[in-house]
């Protein structure tokens, strides 16, 4: 094990900085090859230190998921920020403070929000119409032409608002389980956004951009098609979900939770970890083998951690407990290394939620990297 692992006493979020930097470089290069603006989503890492690695890769624009996160990164020198969440009108004073300070872009999808911003915004902001291209979370449906036009008109009437384009989160790529399925889902999204763009051009709103963001498509596809901007976020760390989707290899995953082993139950091939829902989150997935999984299991090594162990997985979590199960021979093998008082690593199912719970990282060099504070502590 890396020397400082001996000092780990409780569940600790480890970060392999070299892997994260490699993930960043790879995606930045792909954006460049596709001649796209790269505006990575920072909600995954929420850390100014990790933001610096993006800056070193030439990135100057970022996406965030809350105004508090925008404030945090503005404090750390980021001055071109898109808040990729429908504008929260109750925070208009924070929106105005940010619009005065940085190049702020907001999302609008509802006429009430457009009207409110048109009358309450005191500094200029770029506006993206959020489009639902089939995922059915937030966004105006791509083929709701009357609403698209009405929204664009409301926005055009206001001098502080400048309509930049159409933005979507193509969350449906997460359901794909092969590159072909993924390419089809992505292409459908791009086509629908381009339909909406063409429509708005004929309605007198030419030159709109298209912004799209999801880690699976941006990772797997070489040609990102007729779009202007990509906003993937998760790729900086990846996670077990992305491995299962096929968006990355297990050795691209840059975070692992080091968990103390507190008990072993040979009678049922289980091992009890100090590491539960308040560390990993309750995100789960059904593995290709049909196992409900709250995390993959790795051994901690001199260099970081091993490949995920075959037939070993976190089968349940409660507030502080994680129960690791190993099938057949895998349990015997696991017992060669695992012992009460030792450590095991868990590759999280969803690294964004896991990072959000820890609020800090420990790099393999033993350095602690801090993250944005919990919102609500801000003014």
Which residue ranges make up the site for a second copy (CB under 8 A)? Answer: 8-10, 12, 43, 65-66, 68, 85-91, 94, 109-110, 112-113, 116, 136-138, 141, 144, 171, 260, 262-264, 267-268, 270, 272, 274, 277-278, 281-283, 316, 318-321, 323, 339-341, 343, 352-353, 356-360, 374-376
DSSP letter, residue 325:
E
Nearer CB in complex with a second copy: 198/318: 318
Tokens of 361: 């990282």
| Spatial contact of 44 and 233, defined as CB atoms under 8 Å apart | yes
Residue whose CB is less far from a second copy, 36 or 176: 176
Q: How far is the CB of 367 from a second copy (least distance, A)?
A: 14
- Kindly tell me which of 93 and 177 has the beta carbon lying closer to a second copy: 93
Instruction: Kindly tell me which of 251 and 356 has the beta carbon lying closer to a second copy.
Output: 356
What's the closest the beta carbon of residue 287 comes to a second copy, in angstroms? 17
Q: What is the closest distance, in whole angstroms, from the C-beta atom of residue 65 to a second copy in the complex?
A: 5
Instruction: Work out whether the CA dihedral 334, 321, 365, 216 comes out positive or negative.
Output: positive
Which residue, 226 or 378, is less far from a second copy as judged by CB?
A: 378
14 forms beta bridges with 256, 362
From 237, 257, 148, 256, select the one nearest 192 (Cα to Cα): 148
In the complex, least distance from residue 113 CB atom to a second copy, rounded to whole angstroms = 6
Residue pair 31/40 in contact by the 8 Å Cβ criterion:
no
| 65: CB partners within 8 A, 6+ apart | 41, 43, 83, 84, 85
Instruction: Compare residues 7 and 35 and give the one whose CB is closer to a second copy.
Output: 7
* Chain CA centroid to CA 76, Å: 20
Q: Which two tokens stand for residue 66?
A: 């809350």
Least distance to a second copy, CB of residue 195, Å = 17
Q: How far is the CB of 298 from a second copy (least distance, A)?
A: 18
Judged by CB, which is closer to a second copy: 30, or 73?
A: 73
Residue 273's alpha-carbon distances to 186, 322, 339, 372, in angstroms, are 39, 5, 11, 27
Residue 282: CB atoms within 10 A of its CB come to 14
27 or 343, CB closer to a second copy? Answer: 343
Q: Please report how close the Cβ of residue 258 comes to a second copy at its closest, in angstroms.
A: 10
Nearest to residue 39, comparing CAs of 328, 232, 273, 236?
Answer: 232
Q: How far is the CB of 8 from a second copy (least distance, A)?
A: 7
Contact 89, 109 (CB under 8 A): no
Q: Scanning the structure block, which residue is given the tokens 């619009």?
A: 99
């Amino acid at each position: 094990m890396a020397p400082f692992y001996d000092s780990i006493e409780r569940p600790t979020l480890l970060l392999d900085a070299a892997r994260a930097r490699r993930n960043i470089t790879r995606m930045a290069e792909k954006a460049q090859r596709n001649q796209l603006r790269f505006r990575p989503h920072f909600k995954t890492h929420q850390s100014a230190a990790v933001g610096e690695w993006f800056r070193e890769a030439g990135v100057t624009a970022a996406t965030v998921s809350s105004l508090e996160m925008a404030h945090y990164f503005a404090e750390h020198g980021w001055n071109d920020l898109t808040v990729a969440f429908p504008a929260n009108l109750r925070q208009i004073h924070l929106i105005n403070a940010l619009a005065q300070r940085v190049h702020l872009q907001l999302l609008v999808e509802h006429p009430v929000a457009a009207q409110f911003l048109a009358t309450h915004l005191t500094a200029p902001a770029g506006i993206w119409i959020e489009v639902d291209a089939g995922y059915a979370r937030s966004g105006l449906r791509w083929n709701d032409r009357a609403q698209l036009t009405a929204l664009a008109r409301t926005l055009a009437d206001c001098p502080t608002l400048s309509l930049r384009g159409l933005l979507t989160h193509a969350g449906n790529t997460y359901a794909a389980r092969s590159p072909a399925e993924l390419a089809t889902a992505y292409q459908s999204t791009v086509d629908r956004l381009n339909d909406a763009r063409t429509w708005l051009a004929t309605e007198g709103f030419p030159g709109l951009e298209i912004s799209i963001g999801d880690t699976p498509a941006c990772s797997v596809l070489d040609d990102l098609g007729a779009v202007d901007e990509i906003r993937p976020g998760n790729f900086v760390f990846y996670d077990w979900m992305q491995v299962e989707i096929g968006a990355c290899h297990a050795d691209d995953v840059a975070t692992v939770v080091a968990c103390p082993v507190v008990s072993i139950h040979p009678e049922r091939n289980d091992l009890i970890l100090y590491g539960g829902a308040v560390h990993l989150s309750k995100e789960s997935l059904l593995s290709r083998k049909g196992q409900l999984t709250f995390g993959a299991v790795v051994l901690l090594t001199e260099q970081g951690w091993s490949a995920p162990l075959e037939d070993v997985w976190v089968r349940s979590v409660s507030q502080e407990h994680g129960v690791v199960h190993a099938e057949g021979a895998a349990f015997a093998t696991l017992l060669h290394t695992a012992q009460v008082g030792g450590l095991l690593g868990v590759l999280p199912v969803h690294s964004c939620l896991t990072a959000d719970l820890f609020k800090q990282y420990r790099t393999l060099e033993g350095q602690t990297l801090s993250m944005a504070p919990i919102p609500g502590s801000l003014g």
